[in-house]
Amino acid sequence: MTQQHQPMWITVHCSATPHSMDIGCSEIRRWHLQRGWQDIGYHYVIRRNGTIEQGRPLLQQGAHVTGNNKGNIGICLVGGCDNKQKPQDNFTLAQRKSLFTLIEQLQQQYNIDDKHVTAHSQWNSSKACPVIVIQSEAERQEANSLLRENV
């Protein structure tokens, strides 16, 4: 059963792969299907060259934040680890441009305010994902207090 949802949150992830791995939606979809999921868990994947690929249809609930997928749009940046699988902010400028353009578009389209734009690590502090810092500490704390109410 696929559940429909109204987007309220945007959560940024990374694929935890090294900079040399030029993967996209089809590879990640294959991994997630191998886990027994019905489709790729993310709604968008941003390739190393900045290309934005559509993953799971936007209005279907994703599978990217344990226990908090309802109304949550998942965007995955490809990269985020060094060759030893350690977290590394190795994202390209093209990816960063695409990420923030996409976030802005989704915020406009679904009327999502800045406090609802989060990193995976805000939902689960044991995760380094997505490595990249997407907002100031003050903004992060505001988002954190909102998402605690949601959890």
Are 5 and 114 contacting, i.e. CB atoms less than 8 angstroms apart?
no
Q: Considering the complex, state which of residue 7 and residue 41 has its C-beta at the smaller distance from Zn ion.
A: 41
Task: Choose which of 63, 77, 129, 147 interacts with Zn ion (CB under 5 A).
Answer: 129
Q: What SS3 state is found at 79?
A: coil
Cβ contacts of residue 94 below 8 Å, gap of 6+? 48, 49, 50
What are the E-state strand segments in 33-149? 44-46, 52-54, 72-77, 117-119
Task: Choose which of 10, 13, 40, 47 interacts with Zn ion (CB under 5 A).
Answer: 13
Residues with catalytic annotation?
A: 13, 42, 120, 127, 129
Stretch that binds Zn ion, among 36-44, 101-109, 115-123, 139-147 (CB under 5 A): 115-123
Stretch that binds Zn ion, among 9-17, 18-26, 40-48, 136-144 (CB under 5 A): 9-17
CA 32 to chain centre: 15
Task: Determine the Cα–Cα distance for residues 61 and 26; give it in Å rounded to an integer.
Answer: 19
Q: Considering the complex, state which of residue 7 and residue 74 has its C-beta at the smaller distance from Zn ion.
A: 74
Task: Determine the Cα–Cα distance for residues 81 and 23; give it in Å rounded to an integer.
Answer: 13
Q: Considering the complex, state which of residue 111 and residue 133 has its C-beta at the smaller distance from Zn ion.
A: 133
Stretch that binds Zn ion, among 24-32, 39-47, 109-117, 119-127 (CB under 5 A): 119-127
Which residues make up the interface to Zn ion (CB under 5 A)?
13, 120, 129
